[in-house]
Amino acid sequence: MTERKAGDVLSDGALDALFAEARFAEPDLPDGLTARILEDAQMVQAERLAAEARPPEPVRRASLWQRFVRGIGGAPALAGLGVATMAGLWLGVMPPAFVTSGVSAITGTTTSYSPYMVDSTSAFDFIVDETSSTGG
């Protein structure tokens, strides 16, 4: 029999020749079986040709946000970064006593921290003071 590679498409004449060769090699093959095999082969070829004629699906580019999330490791990594950010913010705003006492021991100061302490001076006040003292 003729050697064939997967994916080869044969013309009708080539298929007929192939089946004639198969009938000659196996004369006991019933005629109905050969006809069904031929119909199946033609159907598979038609499907392959239709698939090749279809235009390829458009490639969708990922947005900047999707590429960022994929780059850091996906949704679990993003959730971990969010939790670490919130924990750092909470410790910065309301530090526990052991953190403030440790800072006081290292720096040698006894400053107490209050979340309600607000500096009422703005950066522009220092600029005004500086220009008035230089006479400008």
List pLDDT tens digits, range 64-94: 999 999 999 999 999 999 999 999 998 888 8
Residue reference for tokens 């006894």: 110
| Residue 72 structure tokens | 């850091």
Residue 100 covered by a domain:
yes
pLDDT of residue 53: 85
Q: What is the helix, strand, coil percentage profile of the chain, to 5?
A: 65, 0, 35
Residue 133 covered by a domain:
no
Say yes or no to pLDDT of 108 above 70: no
Residue 64 covered by a domain:
no
- CA–CA distance, 48 with 104 (Å, rounded to integer): 77
CB 85 within 8 A of CB 49: no
Do 105 and 74 share a structural domain?
Answer: yes
- CA–CA distance, 47 with 7 (Å, rounded to integer): 12
Residue 5 covered by a domain:
no
Residues in the chain: 136
pLDDT of residue 69: 93
Please tell me what DSSP assigns to residue 135. Answer: T
Residue 42 covered by a domain:
yes
Residue 82 covered by a domain:
yes
- CA–CA distance, 92 with 18 (Å, rounded to integer): 81
Residue 96's domain comprises: 70-111
List pLDDT tens digits, range 86-106: 999 988 888 777 776 766 667
**Amino acid, single-letter form, for residue 69:** V
Domain count, the chain: 2
Do 46 and 75 share a structural domain?
Answer: no
